[in-house]
């Protein structure tokens, strides 16, 4: 599973990354978590506001930090 955290490194970007790592640990799922900070690469996903969460090349959310339950649901859907 590939997970990308899209954002320049703002507080919400860091929070999304931490919640995603925690969700993976709670579910016992292994994944590559990559931070994407290059604005041109972020725009390739049609994400105009950060943070953004991409799981297996599918944008799940952007512009807000989702609840941990949402992150877990999206991870489980992509398994």
Q: Which residue numbers are catalytic?
A: 10, 13
In Å, how far are 23, 37, 72 from 69, measured between CA atoms? Answer: 8, 25, 5
Q: In this structure, what token pair is assigned to residue 74?
A: 């999206």
End-to-end CA distance of the chain: 8
């Amino acid at each position: 599973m590939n997970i990308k955290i899209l954002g320049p490194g703002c507080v919400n970007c860091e929070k999304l990354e931490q919640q995603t790592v925690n969700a993976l640990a709670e579910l016992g799922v292994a994944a590559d978590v990559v931070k994407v900070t290059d604005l041109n690469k972020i725009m390739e996903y049609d994400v105009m506001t950060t943070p953004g969460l991409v799981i297996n090349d599918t944008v799940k959310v952007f512009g807000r930090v989702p609840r941990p339950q949402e992150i877990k649901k999206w991870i489980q859907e992509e398994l």
